[in-house]
A and B are shown apart, each in its own frame.
Chain A
Amino acid sequence: MPDTTPAAGPRFALPRLGSTERALAVVIALLCLFLALTTDTFFTLVNLLDLLNISAVNVIFAVGLLVVLIAGGIDISFAVAASVVQYLTALALQQIGGGGWISGVLIAGGIGFLLGAFNAALIYHFRIISIVVTIATFNLFFGALMFFTQGVSIYNLPSWWTSRVVLFEMETASGWAELTLPVVVMLAVVFATWLLIRRLTIGRQLYAMGDNPEGARRVGINIGAMHYLAFGWLGITAGIAGLMQAHYAQEVVPNALYGRELDVLAAVVLGGARLGGGRGTILGAILGVALVTITQNGLNLLGVSPYAFKMIVGAVILIAITLSNSGVGDLVTAMKNSARRGAARKADSGVSR
């Protein structure tokens, strides 16, 4: 068994790569190598920064969902919750006369938290399993959104929200390379989530609860608070992701994020988060998103027939999962270890002789 329990290892050492992360990293590296050799556009600054810009929102969703998965839950409703947040934020900003980034993030995060807490309340106080609750709230959120908005989009958002923020730009031979605001927000959310689950005691308690809820309760962990923490955290990140999606799309469309939940869930599970809880790393979630994004990017760059897209994406996911389960990562470690053991044995025999 690969050792991925976070409690293992020295506390301040770099976290050891789990076998899933290693397998994913190997697949991604091979994919990148292949694309760098077969296209002259993949390994350019423009493309690499674009990959970051494009995956930022999905990564923000992914690390939020990771927290819920670690805590032993699942959430189907977060993507449509983000759409609800977009609408309510737009309305709230209209009320306060425009607002700015700070009020925007606070409102979006706050509404997101409330929607997440609503899920947590149903799951914890009524003891309903999370998938049932969130399938219901998925329909509730989306249905309410369609009912109250009548499917009408909002195009006139405050200008601070929709004007593009370019933090780094450079003209290259293949066009303008840009690094935009969503990437920085992604880094901030990833860092905050890392602090939560890797550096804070309550984060460790999330793992404990996901691994063994009854055991966690007996050692005195507040299970209710943990539910609010996990689903609330996903709510906040979903709210921020919604804010970012509306930022680059420059409009709020009710069904823009509908269906995104399954893409993100697939990526996070691909990254090694266990659907039963107690296992999962931020790096894995990011690699999971990266694999899917790079595959799609590569297909477009290679000029593969779009009719084959879904088939190839599915095949790549299957290959990655098969590799991580069959332990390619472990294989590499095992080879290294056996080499080391071999060397040690040689040294031993040298001494004994």
Chain B
Amino acid sequence: MALRSLPALVAGVLAFGLMAGTALADQTRIGVVVKIGGIPWFNAMEAGIKEQGAALGVDAFMIGPTSADPALQVRAVEDLIAQGVDVIGVVPNDAEVLEPVLERARAQGIKVITHESPNQRNVDWNFELASVEGFGDAYGKLMADLMGGTGKYAVFVGSLTVPLHNAWADAAIAYLKANNPEMELVGERYGVAENVDDSRRTALDLMRAHPDLKGFLAFGSQGPIGAARAVEERRKAGEVVVLGPFSPGQGQKLIHDGVLSGGFMWNPKEAGKVFVTLGDMLVKGEEIKAGTEVPGLGTINPEAGSKNIIVDQLVELNKDTIDGLAEMGL
């Protein structure tokens, strides 16, 4: 039964798809495939996509696979090609797995934009809202400001093998070495920042081993939270600076209690808007080159021959911004 009715069903769906396709043919269609659906980060991105789509009068929508599986992303991109969209945006789970299907999309004249995937092949553009140096420098600078340019600090990363965290840590440490030689790093770096318990334990130990420790810089989602809990327990709020990127909803209370000093992140909602803005510009045939002003990115400066647009549009996490970001569910 089910099998016999399948062809009819497929035909129906196809007919519907074609009808829908022709009905909307005059409007630019932008589909963005993200890593996974239903999590706050990409919910915020979806809000940005919808908002900018409405503002520019284009049909922009997001597709969130049920799990962070590269194969599901490939299938989602194939679906978008079949639908005949004008622009495909992707936040890749796996850059290489997507290469062939993105090539196919471009062969059909579809513009392809990626995010958080530097040097992605078969794209028109990839954009980043934070550069490794920019992100590390911003943390180094804020750390120096809050510590008064002197004193001991420790660095946590998610794990000693997470490339991005370690690259950020390298940049921040290099910045502090160059600009604030009075500041002293204790104990290289600790790979505990993906676990709130390990971060707390290590922070407690380090504050004891170095009673004059004045700061923690933690790259990894749980690191700033764990270190802040330790500072709270040691009753050193205000004496020890804790910085790092964290989920605003999670750190909201700690920020207001003054045990978590702050940090930077980039706003996924802005990234969603940029997908639509860039896509619209590409479809309209506007030239994108060094010096072009793109709303949401600022004046861009891609290297010659490179398809990476890297800017530093960082959002500071502090007492003033945290409530707004937390409200977005981030």
Contacts and interface: CB of A to CB of B under 8 A. Distances in A.
Contacts of A201: none
A275 interface: no
B233 A178 contact: yes
Nearest to A249: B196
Interface residues of A, number: 35
B208 A46 contact: yes
Nearest to A171: B235
A290 to B, nearest CB: 14
A341 interface: no
A174 interface: yes
Contact of A301 (B197, B208, B234): B208
A39 B234 contact: no
Given A256-B197, A306-B190, A47 B208 contact: yes
Interface in A126-178: 150-153, 155, 164, 174-176, 178
A295 to B, nearest CB: 12
B197 A249 contact: yes
A41 interface: yes
B208 A175 contact: yes
A250 B257 CA distance: 14
Given A175-B208, A249-B197, A307-B160, A152 B188 contact: no
A153 B209 contact: no
B interface: dominant SS: helix
B298 interface: no
Interface in A251-296: 251, 253, 256, 296
A337 B235 CA distance: 52
A248 interface: yes
Given A39-B209, A175-B211, A300-B206, A54 B201 contact: yes
Given A41-B209, A152-B40, A248-B229, A303 B186 contact: yes
B235 A249 contact: no
Given A175-B208, A253-B196, A152 B39 contact: yes
A111 B249 CA distance: 28
B202 interface: yes
A115 to B, nearest CB: 21
Interface residues of B, number: 34
Nearest to B253: A155
B201 A155 contact: no
B109 interface: no
A150 B201 contact: no
A50 interface: yes
B204 interface: yes
B191 interface: yes
Interface string A42-68: 001011001000100100000000000
Nearest to A296: B201
Interface string B175-202: 0000000000011111100011100111
19 contacts: A54-B204, A150-B39, A151-B39, A152-B39, A175-B207, A175-B234, A176-B235, A178-B233, A249-B197, A249-B229, A251-B225, A253-B196, A256-B197, A297-B205, A300-B202, A301-B208, A301-B209, A305-B188, A307-B160
Interface of A: 39, 41, 44, 46-47, 50, 54, 57, 150-153, 155, 164, 174-176, 178, 245, 248-251, 253, 256, 296-297, 300-307
